């Protein structure tokens, strides 16, 4: 047995503590004069020898615990008959094949230099008579090739290529750490890292918390003697969309030591932006705006793959492009029909719709008010959204039209008052139009005794929920209300705490019917007349249109919007997407998004089928930052991450005699636990 | 106030003021006094005169008064009883035991002996004090004079517990050397061979003594309330024993209870009064309780 940190064995001297305590603090008998010793003599007297034996046992247990703890800290290695394949030198090579290694100048690319350097290293190590074993890890992908001979390692390196990803040293470090503890415990472990050591890699090394002790560490910083010439588009966002003009702000960084004079352009399918001339000093980052004129196409809903690019050349061309998926909503006219018993009953709803129409450049609400008694079939043909302040008697005659309306994609919103027309409600219910049947149509008015103190929302968007909070249903439900019976296909989106439904929603293909149970608020006025209706209106009218952008960096979870018309139809079916490598994959579906599996590189991810939605996948910011760390700083960091373990070197001497060393700290840890459990048992036994 | 007077604390004595110690064997006492005595008294003290009635013995006629007044008067005397109390106080080393630093058994016995002496002498009983260990270390003869109390109290004050117990031998000696019948008051922890003790007590009873045993025991001796590791050292034999009292407590109490029951049963069978006194309890309370019991018996 040998020890990695043998100095901790001095901790075993702490056994002097219990020994001294045993000698000095032996059971001290209080001396007392007594008279009736003969009555004690006949009693059960504990054997002195037995007690001494127990004392000795406790002493031994405590000493053993201390010695074992010292051994645990000393990291013991057990010599066992060795497997010849596990002895000798083991090399762990970390090869940086991240995007930054694709940088090339007049000499050659960083990656080629790194491969040459790694090949040299392996050939040098191959001269070791102990048949070295090589383990190669690519830092960008984290893939390992283990237990290779020198020839296999050389062949493997030839197959490695640059990946459009950033370097992650975590996988490499954990692999080396695990192997040194288990598989190659006792062997001489040498680590060699080949990288350009960009600030990104250096940050990861600095933040490493658990160093990995090795016998030898070598790092080779791949670089060029020339000044770095590299600029990159590091970020981009949609700044706005107006009059068919899409504005995009792009952040451009000069990662090199050479001033960049470039031109920034944005391309969206056939449309291109005017080029923006850029003059960017070394190590500077600035934001530039480019505009794409979409023209008449901007009036329609589009999913645009916008690619920003820097013209001209530098050492790394992959970061001269940035991919941004943009969803531009088409102009939408929505006809809203307000049906009420009086002319101004829906005043607030009308005002809210007008306001929404003015604030949103994509949506226009054409509003018409009609008295319930004057409602005719043609009104439904005109309307996209019908809002009824109550279920009027007239609807019983038009129930077939209402059914056709919602089936064709219309949106029907009915508020429930105490004076609804039961016949109309029943007919609409029978046709499956109403999301819920009011209580008086079920078995008369119901006035639950307890007043609900709170309410819960299920699937209502935040804005609607907030507006309903302002509505303060808990304050106005003074007289009781009608309890509704939800349709089997409907969902109760808002429920009062006593279980009564407040908002019911039922989908009819693309159409929707909503029932808002405002039966009890006659005391303070209908919801349609309250301030809550203004905020609630947006929910009732449907989602508003807005420009959205979809841009991700590598290693982020990529999502895509569900394209129309599937989104509005609510169908849940399989969606296929095409990832950056051109392969088609199946995407997971959530309520409103598609979760894309690993995009396999940078570029475009898009849905298969028309219309296609796009998302851009880009390099993480800073990945292509070519700033070089100081040699001293790098050496210091590497020495901290991979401290050279002199004992490993000494241990190597033992590996040549055909034995292998295995860490036995687990056995010792379990022994300590066992003894710790045993000690109080024996101690208590002594007291008894 | 002399040091030994502490044994006669007025507060303590006031509690005994209305109590009379009554001997058991009334037939042998004189009618005067509360103690029936088996013998006539030797000394008489003038008390009063009364007119002669027929039947009175002529030897009690005061002829001097007759000569002066020509009337027959009878001289009346305060008759002293002739009961002799022998207080046997064990002064062996074991009596020095004081369990929780309180009053030792010997001190307790001294208090009790002093109180009894005062009581006896107040009733004009002859009182003798015998201190003993292996042998009799101090013997104060029986006298009924009030001044005799000072002698007894001084002896108690100056005595120290020492030596081993030889109770059986002492009792035999007392039985053999005490010619006059009386009350034997034994104050001891009775830590001797039980059979010998019974034999000695029986011997005393055989020679017609009235025997009262005050068995003084310390609270720790009765209960063994010690905690922790203790090395007990016998106060007389110096034998040592290491043990954990808590582990022996139950058995110890049981054996002590058996010991006390044996003594009480055996003394009861012999017609000997037995009173167990716990030195942690007030002396006066124990004494009063005993005397009350004696009074009831009478």
On the question of pLDDT at A523 being above 60, the answer is no
Query: Cβ–Cβ of B234/A34 closer than 8 Å?
Result: yes
Length of chain B: 298
**pLDDT bucket at A475, cuts 50 / 70 / 90:** low
> B246: nearest CA in chain A?
A688
Average pLDDT of the residues in A229-257: 88
CB A18 within 8 A of CB A59: yes
Both tokens of A434, joined, read 């109403």
What does pLDDT average to over chain A?
Answer: 80
CB within 8 Å: A31 and B231: yes
pTM equals 0.50
B97/A34 CB distance under 8 A: yes
pLDDT, tens digit, for every residue of A73-118?
A: 887 777 665 444 445 688 999 999 988 888 888 778 899 999 999 9
Share of chain A above pLDDT 70, in %: 80
> Poorest-confidence range of A129-133, A583-587, B52-56?
A129-133
Higher pLDDT, A153 or A184: A153
Secondary structure element (H or E) that encloses residue A516, with its range: strand A511-516
The pLDDT, as a whole number, for residue A223 is: 85
ipTM: 0.72
d(CA A147, CA B2): 106
Q: Looking at chain A, which residue has its C-alpha nearest residue B94? A: A35
Residues of A in contact with B191 (CB under 8 A): 35-36
Is A395:A368 a contact under the CB 8 Å cutoff?
no
Looking at residues A464-483, what average pLDDT do you find?
A: 59
Rounded distance between C-alpha atoms, residue A44 and residue B251, angstroms: 8
Please state, in angstroms and rounded to a whole number, the distance separating the CA atoms of residues A102 and A116. Answer: 14
Please state, in angstroms and rounded to a whole number, the distance separating the CA atoms of residues A516 and A389. 10
> Taking Cα atoms as reference points, which of A96, A217, A228 lies closest to residue A625?
A228
Please indicate if any CB of chain A lies within 8 Å of the CB of B54. Answer: no
Burial class (CB in 10 A: 0-12, 13-18, 19+), A489: exposed
B247 contacts chain A (CB < 8 A): yes
* Residue to substitute from B232, B245, B255, interface A, most A β-carbons within 10 A: B232
Per-residue pLDDT reduced to its tens digit, A424-439? 888 888 888 888 887 6
pLDDT given at position A616: 93
Q: How far is B169 from chain A (nearest CA, A)?
A: 20
Q: Is B238 on the interface with A (CB under 8 A)?
A: no
Question: Would you call B221 exposed, middle or buried from its count of C-beta atoms within 10 A (0-12, 13-18, 19+)?
Answer: buried
> Which residue of chain B comes nearest to A27, CA vs CA?
B229
Coil/strand/helix, residue A113: helix
CB proximity B276 to A under 8 Å:
no
Residues of A in contact with B189 (CB under 8 A): 35
Q: Model confidence over A401-430: pLDDT tens digits?
A: 999 999 888 999 888 777 788 888 888 888
- What DSSP letter does each residue of A624-661 carry, written as one string? T--PPPPHHHHHHHHHHHS-B-HHHHHHHHHHTTTEEE
Give the mean model confidence (pLDDT) for residues A575-582. Answer: 88
What is the tens place of the pLDDT at every residue in A228-237? 888 999 999 9
Q: Which residues in chain B have their CB less than 8 angstroms from residue A29's CB?
A: 229-231, 242
Average pLDDT rounded to a whole number, residues A192-208: 89
CA-based max dimension of chain B:
87
User: Could you tell me if B23 and B33 are in contact, meaning their C-beta atoms sit under 8 angstroms apart?
Assistant: no
**Nearest CA to B107 among B279, B274, B276, B223?**
B279
Token pair for residue B22?
A: 């009554």
Confidence category of residue A609, pLDDT binned at 50, 70, 90: confident
Contact A32 B230 (CB under 8 A): yes
Distances (CA, A) of A206 to A385, B57, B145, B164: 60, 132, 108, 86
Q: Which range is least confidently modeled, A466-475, A498-507, A592-601, B152-161?
A: A466-475
Q: How confident is the model at residue A451 (pLDDT cuts 50, 70, 90)?
A: very low
Low-confidence stretches of chain B (pLDDT < 70) are: 1-47, 77-82, 282-298
| For range A315-340, the mean pLDDT | 86
| pLDDT of res. A350 | 80
The tokens for A660 are: 């292998």
pLDDT band at A226 (very low <50, low <70, confident <90, very high): confident
Neighbours of A613 (CB within 10 A): 25
pLDDT of residue B12: 45
Top residue of A26, A30, A34, A41 to mutate, by most chain B CBs within 10 Å, is: A34
Per-residue DSSP letters for A371-404?
EGGG--HHHHHH-SEEEESS--THHHHTHHHHHH
- Asked if B221 has any chain A CB less than 8 Å from its own CB, the reply is yes
Chain A residues whose C-beta sits inside 8 Å of any chain B C-beta: 27-37, 39-46, 48
- Chain A residues lying within 8 Å of B241, measured CB to CB: 37, 40-41, 45
For chain A, the first-to-last Cα distance in angstroms comes to 40
pLDDT at residue A253 in the model: 92
pLDDT of residue A288: 93
| Confidence (pLDDT) at B25 | 26
Radius of gyration of the CA atoms of chain B, in A: 22
Instruction: Give the chain B residue whose CA is nearest to the CA of A41.
Output: B241
**How far is residue B285's CA from residue A117's CA, in Å, rounded to a whole number?**
107
> If you count residue pairs, one on A and one on B, with CB atoms under 8 Å apart, how many are there?
72
């Amino acid at each position: 047995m040998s020890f990695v940190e043998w100095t901790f064995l001095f901790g075993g001297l702490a056994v002097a503590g219990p020994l001294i305590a045993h000698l000095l603090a032996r059971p001290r008998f209080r001396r007392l004069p007594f008279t009736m010793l003969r009555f004690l003599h006949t009693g059960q007297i504990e054997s002195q020898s037995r007690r001494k034996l127990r004392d000795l046992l406790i002493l031994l247990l405590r000493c053993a615990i201390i010695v074992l703890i010292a051994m645990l800290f000393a990291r013991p290695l057990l010599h066992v008959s060795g497997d010849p394949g596990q002895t000798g030198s083991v090399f762990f090579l970390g090869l940086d094949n991240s995007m930054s290694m694709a940088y090339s100048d007049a000499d050659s690319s960083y990656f080629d230099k790194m491969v040459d350097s790694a090949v040299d290293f392996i050939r040098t190590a191959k001269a070791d008579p102990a048949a070295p074993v090589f383990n190669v890890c690519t830092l960008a992908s984290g893939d390992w090739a283990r237990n290779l001979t020198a020839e296999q390692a050389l062949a493997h390196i030839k197959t490695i290529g640059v990946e459009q990803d950033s370097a992650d040293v975590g996988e490499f470090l954990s692999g080396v750490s695990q192997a040194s503890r288990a598989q190659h415990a006792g062997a001489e472990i040498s680590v060699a890292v080949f990288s350009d050591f960009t600030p990104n890699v250096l940050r990861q090394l600095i933040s490493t918390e658990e160093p990995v002790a090795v016998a030898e560490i070598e790092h080779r910083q791949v670089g060029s003697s020339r000044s770095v010439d590299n600029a990159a588009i590091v970020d981009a966002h949609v700044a706005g969309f107006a009059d068919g003009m899409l504005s995009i702000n792009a952040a451009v960084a000069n990662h090199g030591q050479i001033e960049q004079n470039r031109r920034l352009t944005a391309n969206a399918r056939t449309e291109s932006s005017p080029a923006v001339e850029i003059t960017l000093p070394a190590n500077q980052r600035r934001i530039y705006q480019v505009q794409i004129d979409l023209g008449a196409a901007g009036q329609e809903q589009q999913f645009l793959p916008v690619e920003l690019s820097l013209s001209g050349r530098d050492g790394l061309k992959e970061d001269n492009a940035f991919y941004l998926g943009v969803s531009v909503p088409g102009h939408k006219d929505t006809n809203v029909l307000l049906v009420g018993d009086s002319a101004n009953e829906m005043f607030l709803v009308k005002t809210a719709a007008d306001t929404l129409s003015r604030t949103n450049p994509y949506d226009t609400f054409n509003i018409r008010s009609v008295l319930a008694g004057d409602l005719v079939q043609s009104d439904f043909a005109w309307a996209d959204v019908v809002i009824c302040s109550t279920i009027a008697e007239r609807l019983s005659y038009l129930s077939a039209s209402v059914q056709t309306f919602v089936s064709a994609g219309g949106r029907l919103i009915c508020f429930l008052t105490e004076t609804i027309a039961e016949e109309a409600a029943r007919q609409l219910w029978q046709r499956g139009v109403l999301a819920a049947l009011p209580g008086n149509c079920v078995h008369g008015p119901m006035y639950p005794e307890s007043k609900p103190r709170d309410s819960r929302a299920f699937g209502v968007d935040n804005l609607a929920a907030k507006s309903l909070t302002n509505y303060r249903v808990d304050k106005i439900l003074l007289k009781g209300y009608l309890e509704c019976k939800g349709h089997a296909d409907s969902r109760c989106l808002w429920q009062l705490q006593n279980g009564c439904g407040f908002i019911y929603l039922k989908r009819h293909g693309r159409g929707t019917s909503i029932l808002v149970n405002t039966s009890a608020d006659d005391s303070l006025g209908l919801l349609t007349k309250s301030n809550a209706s203004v905020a609630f209106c947006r929910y009732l009218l449907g989602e508003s249109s807005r420009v959205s952008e979809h841009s991700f960096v590598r290693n982020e979870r990529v999502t895509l919007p569900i394209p129309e018309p599937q989104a509005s139809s609510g169908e849940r079916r399989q969606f296929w997407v095409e990832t950056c490598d051109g392969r088609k994959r199946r995407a997971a579906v959530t309520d409103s998004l598609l979760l894309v599996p690993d995009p396999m590189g940078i570029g475009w991810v898009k849905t298969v089928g028309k219309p296609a939605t796009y998302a851009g996948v880009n390099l993480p910011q800073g990945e292509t930052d070519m700033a070089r760390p100081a040699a001293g700083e790098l050496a210091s960091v590497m020495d901290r991450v991979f401290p050279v373990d002199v004992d490993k070197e000494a241990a190597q001497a033992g590996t040549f005699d055909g034995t292998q060393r295995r860490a036995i700290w687990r056995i010792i840890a379990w022994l300590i636990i066992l003894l710790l459990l045993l000690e109080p048992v024996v101690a208590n036994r002594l007291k008894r | 106030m002399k040091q030994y007077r502490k044994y006669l604390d007025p507060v303590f004595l006031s509690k005994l003021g209305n109590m009379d110690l009554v001997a058991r064997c009334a037939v042998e006492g004189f009618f005067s006094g509360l103690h029936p005595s088996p013998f006539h008294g030797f000394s008489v003290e003038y008390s009063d005169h009364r007119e002669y009635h027929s039947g009175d013995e002529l030897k009690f006629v005061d002829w001097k008064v007759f000569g002066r007044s020509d009337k027959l008067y009878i001289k009346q005397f305060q008759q002293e009883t002739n009961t002799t109390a022998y207080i046997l106080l064990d002064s062996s080393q074991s009596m020095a035991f004081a369990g929780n630093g309180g009053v030792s058994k010997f001190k307790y016995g001294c208090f009790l002996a002093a109180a009894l002496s005062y009581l006896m002498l107040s009733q004009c009983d002859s009182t003798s004090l015998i201190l003993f260990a292996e042998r009799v270390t101090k013997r104060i003869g029986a006298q009924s004079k009030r001044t005799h109390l000072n002698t007894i109290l001084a002896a108690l004050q100056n005595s120290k517990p020492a030596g081993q117990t030889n109770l059986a031998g002492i009792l035999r000696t007392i039985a053999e050397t005490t010619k006059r019948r009386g009350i034997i008051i034994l104050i001891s922890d009775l830590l001797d061979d039980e059979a010998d003790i019974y034999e000695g007590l029986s011997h005393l009873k055989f020679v017609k003594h009235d025997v009262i045993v005050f068995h003084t025991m310390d609270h720790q001796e009765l209960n063994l309330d010690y905690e922790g590791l203790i090395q007990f050292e016998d106060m007389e034999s110096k034998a040592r024993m290491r043990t954990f009292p808590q582990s022996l407590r139950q058995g110890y109490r049981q054996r002590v209870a058996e010991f006390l029951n044996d003594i009480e049963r055996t003394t009861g069978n012999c017609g000997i009064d037995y009173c167990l006194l716990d030195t942690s309890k007030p002396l006066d309370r124990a004494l009063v309780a005993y005397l009350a019991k004696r009074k009831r018996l009478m």
